Homo-oligomer: A and B are copies of this chain.
Amino acid sequence: MSDERPNGLRDNRLPASLDRTDAAILGLLQNNARLSVKEIAAEIGLAPSSTHERIRRMRDADILRGAHAEVDPKALGIGLEALLMIELSKHRRSTVDSFLDEVVKVPEVRFAYLVTGRHDLIVHVVVRDTRHLKDLALDHFTNRPGVTRIETSIIFEARHRHELPLLRQIG
């Protein structure tokens, strides 16, 4: 959701025009970033060189932003995942950006969302067990200045979609 570029200016690039072939490539790569250009080309019915050129263009335009490997959490000793729903004091709400930056440096944090509504911050954490969760909450959140209240929700089950929907008219 970041609107901002590193220099702090709004990103005023004109919306890059994608056609349905580009969208198909993005869909395939979101589901499996290890697909070869050759495999993608076969899937979409283009030559590998043409497919390669489209991928290169989308990378240059920062539409395609790299890829991340998925690792089995259990293999790393992660036995429990939770969402921390955090309320911040009025004062801290003025400096939420630096707060977000600090939070996301904690290794056990997967994401931190600044949101509207009952809570101010939703933080997804991964831990060994309930004891680790308690320690993490106390050490990094409960006692932190600016935090007025935390609600903990343990995640029983999670489902993910890796592919974003295409919500624009395409060229």
Contact = CB atoms under 8 A, between A and B. Distances in A.
Interface in A144-168: 151-168
Interface string A71-90: 11111111001010100000
Nearest to A116: B154
What is the count of identical protomers in the complex?
Answer: 2
Contacts of A104: 159-161
Interface residues of A, number: 77
Contacts of A18: 75-76
Interface of A: 1-2, 15-16, 18, 23, 26, 29-34, 61-78, 81, 83, 85, 96-97, 100-101, 103-104, 107-119, 122, 126-128, 132, 151-169
